A and B are shown apart, each in its own frame.
Chain A
Amino acid sequence: MIPVMLRDVSVCFGAERVLEDINLSIGNHEFVAIIGPNGGGKTTLLNVILGLVKTSGGIVRVFGKPPEEGRKFVGYLPQRPSFDPSFPISVYEVVLMGRYRRWSLRKYTEEDMKAVENALHTVGMIDFKEKSIGILSGGQIQRVLIARALVRSPKLLLLDEPTASIDSEMQIFLYELLRKLREKMTVVIVTHDIGVVSDYVDRIVCLNRRIHYCGPPDLSEIARTYGHPVKLIDHGAHASVK
């Protein structure tokens, strides 16, 4: 089953068209970066794959199923943590939530706990497992949330600007981690770091309401297809081209 299949997908928020004529297939163990200007629909595209946004047309299939069913194979890292940092909860409990199953009487099994430990090991946060989520730095929270996505043993990992709020050392750690993870799963990342990401990914998708480019991370080719090379790199402070 192909992880993501989008055919003629469009999304409207009220009268505004946010996504139009999106045709995209992402295969097993592919590592894909989605880039594009702010407001270009990158986060919306991830939400379409997750089934959190209703499409106004087209077909969405996640592992051959509608997104609401397919998302049990999907791990997701949101752009901004949508929780209150003062919430009384430990790192361990946050990650354990990723193992939630409906209608199970014994909520969490030993297997779940082992999975949490493994996920925290993978992101290098096992020493923090009893710590409160509120005392962590931005980069540490990011790693815990990646562990929460990984603990579900996803076949598809979606990351929305994971490097936006972390320092460059953490960025390298993160990309190296993703390089390892892609051997086990498909990875889709929304990012502004075109320069860095092109060393790692198989494919880059340039999105600004429509898909303007979809192919190997060949920067000059992207620039040509995109029309304006300046536009491509002018996303924000983090963007750079080597």
Chain B
Amino acid sequence: MNKRANTAVLQIKSLNKSYGALSVTDDVSCELYPGEIHTLIGPNGAGKSTLIGQIAGWIKPDSGAIYLGNEDISKMSVAKRSRMGLGRSFQVSSLAMELSARRNVMLAVQARQGSSFRFWKAVDTDQSLIVEADEILKKLHIDDYKHVVAAELSHGKRRELEVACAMALKPKVLLLDEPMAGLDPSSTQGLVEFLLKLKETIPILLIEHDMDAVFKLSDRISVLVYGKLIFSGSPEEIKNSSDVKSAYLGED
């Protein structure tokens, strides 16, 4: 374990956040190692999304630090963190709804190339953006929808498109907030397989409610209850833990 600690890609160190008297993140520390999927589970209101919000930079923690590789990213803006290699998807899809799937991915490619202050050349015909965007869409099997505007995509396709946008950033780490929510069984299966392959190159911090998917995907599971990490272990250990059962699994 110690040897691995040096190589953590994402490290959260005693993060705290409270809204008034309500502690939504209570001294949370966890790590994400190369090649793994680390899943956060917990009942509604446990503070999972708040935690993701703090990692991504939308919410400012009261104390604690977040490291991406060796770099402390806790003071960086959302955009800066994304450029550093933090890719994410949202619980409720957040896309440019009026733009086609391809244009959404092209924007992410453009952002990674770091070239948004170019005022002259047309985007529509920019092969360096189109080729790469199409490759990613194909990888996620949504290239049939590349000309469809995001607003007209099904809920499930939008989630996959969000993952595609995150992939375009060539991230070091992926934060996925309930990517399976609203997916039909076959899409869920497809995404599970995709993520299992993906984790080899990009480790994933996952929040998910679909327990079947969680047990299939996760190398490690951490349980968050009332802002506190109460347990962390392999899927087997989670299944057998009585604490977890009483706090979470049993109530479900």
Question: Are A and B physically bound partners?
Answer: no
Residues of chain A at the chain B interface (Cβ within 8 Å): none
Residues of chain B having any CB pair with chain A under 8 Å: none
